[in-house]
């Protein structure tokens, strides 16, 4: 298992009192697997990813990555937070080479990786533009390339498509899926969108409302070998969608 989460609890201490966000979460992700975590808004999804990323210390339980306990951010993990985190004043090139620059690694190696990824994924001609000159989908691809430039083994993606309109979201998610598969990465995607989880992943973990607990886990069987767009047309898609929908605590609101 490349990621394990055992008996994880997290309670925030805030001036207004305590907020219990995570309760006894257990999960494991295999190398190369694409796992989605779905749950209602505010249940604790982002909290869970930030604990796995080593950014938030848990109140109890353990997280391991590649067999080692997580206590701080690790270069093995590429974390894409919820907000588009490209710097608007930097060019695409300056954005995607930011990671190696901050890590103070040899400029040559970081630049070579960035250049290869921009070329492989059709952004080389946009290197001198700024994020504002790109479409939402291209910005998302650029954000992923920036993360890949750091050569993480695991990608943590927090609602990466939520700012895009519906049509764009379909094509951009298929695009990002293809890149993650081609690069052979392990991915953990957080979303509140059931269709997105069923169209992209091998397995879907359903969380309850806050405090988040694991309600169920769905292996996506026949859908696993299909690309996202074809999954949406498969009869099994609707079945998984309905099962997960019934499990989400969103019906009495």
Residues 6 or more apart whose Cβ sits within 8 Å of residue 227:
174, 177, 178
Of 1, 19, 94, 124, the one binding ligand ADP (CB under 6 A) is 19
- Interface of this chain with Mg ion, residues 77 to 96, rule: CB under 5 A: none
* Residue 233 CB-half CA count within 13 A: 4
Query: Is there binding between residue 209 and Mg ion (CB under 5 A)?
Result: no
Q: What are phi and psi of 10, to 5 degrees?
A: -145, 125
Pick what 226 binds: Mg ion, ligand ADP, none; C-beta below 5 to 8 Å, kind-dependent.
none
Q: Ramachandran region of residue 70, left (φ > 0), alpha (ψ -120 to 50) or beta?
A: beta
Pick what 223 binds: Mg ion, ligand ADP, none; C-beta below 5 to 8 Å, kind-dependent.
none
Distances (CA, A) of 33 to 185, 189, 224: 8, 11, 10
Q: How far apart are CA 172 and CA 158, in angstroms?
A: 15
- Interface of this chain with ligand ADP, residues 37 to 56, rule: CB under 6 A: 39, 41-47
Nearest to 196 by CA among 156, 133, 244, 151: 244
- Interface of this chain with ligand ADP, residues 175 to 214, rule: CB under 6 A: 210
Handedness of CA 58, 46, 187, 129 (dihedral sign): negative
Q: Which residue number, 96 or 194, has a Cβ lying nearer to Mg ion?
A: 194
User: What beta strand segments (E) does 30-153 contain?
Assistant: 34-38, 60-65, 68-69, 77-80
Instruction: Name the residue number minimizing CB distance to Mg ion.
Output: 46
Handedness of CA 176, 3, 32, 44 (dihedral sign): negative
Q: Ramachandran region of residue 27, left (φ > 0), alpha (ψ -120 to 50) or beta?
A: beta
Least Å distance between CB 25 and ligand ADP?
Answer: 12
Q: Which stretch binds ligand ADP (CB under 6 A): 14-22, 126-134, 220-228, 232-240?
A: 14-22
Query: Is there binding between residue 46 and Mg ion (CB under 5 A)?
Result: yes
- Interface of this chain with ligand ADP, residues 148 to 177, rule: CB under 6 A: none
Distances (CA, A) of 19 to 13, 24, 109: 7, 15, 44
Of 2, 3, 8, 21, the one binding ligand ADP (CB under 6 A) is 21
Q: Which residue number, 22 or 179, has a Cβ lying nearer to ligand ADP?
A: 22
Pick what 21 binds: Mg ion, ligand ADP, none; C-beta below 5 to 8 Å, kind-dependent.
ligand ADP
Q: Which stretch binds Mg ion (CB under 5 A): 37-45, 104-112, 178-186, 241-249?
A: 37-45
Q: Which residue number, 47 or 97, has a Cβ lying nearer to ligand ADP?
A: 47
Pick what 210 binds: Mg ion, ligand ADP, none; C-beta below 5 to 8 Å, kind-dependent.
ligand ADP
Crossing angle for the helix pair 136-148 and 166-182, nearest 10 degrees? 20
Residues that bind ligand ADP (CB under 6 A): 12, 14, 19, 21, 39, 41-47, 210
Binding residues (CB under 5 A) for Mg ion: these are 45-46
């Amino acid at each position: 298992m490349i990621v394990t989460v055992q008996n994880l609890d997290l309670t925030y201490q805030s001036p207004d009192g305590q907020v219990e966000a995570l309760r006894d979460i257990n999960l494991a992700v295999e190398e190369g697997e694409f796992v989605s975590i779905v749950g209602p808004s505010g249940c604790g999804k982002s909290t869970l990813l930030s604990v796995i990323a080593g950014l938030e210390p848990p109140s109890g339980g353990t997280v391991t990555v590649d067999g080692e306990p997580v206590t701080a951010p690790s270069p093995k993990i590429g974390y894409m937070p919820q907000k588009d985190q490209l710097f608007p004043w930097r060019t695409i090139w300056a954005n995607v080479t930011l990671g190696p620059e901050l890590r103070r690694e040899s400029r040559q190696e970081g630049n070579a990786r960035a250049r290869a990824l921009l070329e492989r994924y059709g952004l080389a001609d946009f290197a001198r533009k700024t994020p504002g000159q790109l479409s939402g989908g291209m910005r998302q691809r650029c954000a992923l390339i920036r993360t890949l430039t750091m050569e993480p083994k695991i990608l943590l993606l927090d609602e990466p498509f939520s700012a895009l309109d519906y049509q764009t979201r379909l094509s951009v998610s298929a695009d990002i899926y293809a890149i993650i598969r081609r690069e052979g990465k392990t991915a953990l995607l957080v979303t509140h969108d059931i269709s997105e989880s069923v169209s992209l992943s091998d397995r879907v973990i359903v969380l309850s409302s806050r405090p988040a607990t694991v309600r169920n886990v769905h292996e996506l069987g026949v859908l696993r070998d299909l690309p996202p767009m074809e999954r949406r047309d498969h009869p099994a898609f609707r079945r998984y969608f309905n099962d997960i929908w019934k499990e989400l605590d969103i019906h009495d609101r």
